[in-house]
Amino acid sequence: MSLESIIENITDTKPRIVSVIGAGLSKASGMPTFRGEDGLWKKYRAEELATPYAFSRDQKLVWEWYRFRMRMLLRAKPNPAHNALKKLEEKNIAIGLITQNVDGLHEIEGIKNFVEIHGRIRYARCMNCNYSERWDNEESAQEEIPLPYCPRCIDSVLRPDVVWFGESLDSQRWEKAINWTNQASVLLVIGTSGVVQPVASLPLYAKQNKAIVVEFNVEETPISSFCDYSIYGPCEKTLPNFTSKLIKKLE
């Protein structure tokens, strides 16, 4: 089905759009995906390092990896897909953005209504108290510097403020994501593998509430079969095209 036909089938004159985004959206900004060939670091995969067990075993190694990621992130810029999502918000047809990404590029683009399901890599937090600090700067991202310690708790090493494999999501963030999904008349699922739960279940919640689900990805995913439409190609190209045509229709 053509892009024009998909947009014509969105008949709501005031759609309530919610977007669920994954690593594929930030790839054009220079951020590697976890599950692609570019997801390797040295001889490790992300799934081996982003765990509480890995951190308890070798804090230095895990922080070395995160500092490597931050050095890449400091060079990254939001891409046209981020800008397209910002335009939907500016036109007051987007309720909110549910992101699995921890890179913060959506916030740098200027998007205001978002929930970071898997946390935020630009911050580090103490495991003993509620202290947190921003560390996305060149000095903190250098390879050979001491481990960061909490200024309040003695001998407590800070950890990246992200959700690691094997950890539970923050209940308040997840509740917000569910509430937005239940309000959506259109759910955009962008650049996500469709295999990470519970986020992969959000399109099903949207379908139960009669929302139109539109997927943007470079290839078919496990959620493609129950999406109303799938638009294949780099989302930094397909999403701006979709949003510009939709906004033009609604004006």
The verdict on 242 and 148 lying in the same domain is no
pLDDT at position 42: 65
pLDDT tens per residue, range 150-199: 999 988 999 999 999 999 999 999 999 999 999 999 999 999 988 888 99
Q: Which residues are identified as catalytic?
A: 118
pLDDT digits (tens, 9 = 90+) for 77-134: 999 999 999 999 999 999 999 999 999 999 999 999 999 999 999 999 999 998 999 9
Same domain? 140 vs 231: no
C-beta atoms surrounding 223 within 10 Å: 22
Lowest-confidence segment of 4-18, 42-56, 150-164 by average pLDDT: 42-56
Q: Cα angle at 64 between 63 and 68, to 5 degrees?
A: 110
| Residue 207, domain CATH | 3.40.50.1220
pLDDT > 90: what percent of the chain? 79
Do you find a cis peptide bond into 52, omega within 30 degrees of 0?
no
Residues 158, 212 within the same domain: no
CATH number at residue 44: 3.30.1600.10
Would the pLDDT of 45 be above 90?
no
109 and 19 in a common domain: yes
Query: Which phi-psi region, left, alpha or beta, contains residue 68 (left: φ > 0; alpha: ψ -120 to 50)?
Result: alpha
Mean pLDDT for the chain overall: 92
Overall number of domains in the chain: 2
Structure token digits, residue 244: 């510009």
What pLDDT is stored for residue 123 in this prediction?
Answer: 97
**Average pLDDT of the residues in 72-80:** 94
Q: Which pairs with CB-CB distance under 8 Å and at least 24 residues apart come from 129-134?
A: 129/153, 129/156, 131/158, 132/161, 133/158
243 and 151 both lie in a single domain: no
Of 107, 139, 162, the position where a domain reaches its end is: 162
d(CA 145, CA 130): 24
How large is the C-alpha radius of gyration of the chain?
19
pLDDT of residue 232 exceeding 80? yes
For 117, the token pair is 């399901």
Gap between the terminal Cα atoms of the chain: 23
Residues 180 and 231 in one domain: yes
Of the three residues 108, 140, 162, the one that is the final residue of a domain is: 162
pLDDT score for 40: 53
Write down the pLDDT at residue 226.
87
With cut-offs at 50, 70 and 90, classify the pLDDT of residue 32: low
Q: What is the 3-state secondary structure (H, E, C) of 208-246?
A: HCCCEEEEEECCCCCCHHHCCEEEECCHHHHHHHHHHHH
pLDDT (average), residues 62-83:
94
Together in a domain, 105 and 152: no
Residue 219 corresponds to which tokens in the numbers above? 């290839």
pLDDT of 37 above 70 = no
Domain with 20, as residue range(s), is 3-30+78-118+169-250
My answer on whether 12 and 96 are in the same domain is yes
- Say yes or no: 244 and 209 in one domain: yes
Q: 202 and 95, same structural domain?
A: yes
Alpha-helix runs per DSSP H in 9-142 = 23-26, 46-49, 52-57, 59-73, 80-90, 105-109
- Asked if pLDDT for residue 73 goes beyond 60, the answer is yes
Q: In the listed set 134, 162, 190, which residue is the last one of a domain according to the structure?
A: 162
Contact 52, 129 (CB under 8 A): no
214 and 134, same domain (yes or no): no
Whether residues 107 and 131 fall in one domain = no
What is the rounded distance in angstroms from the CA atom of residue 152 to the CA atom of residue 129?
8
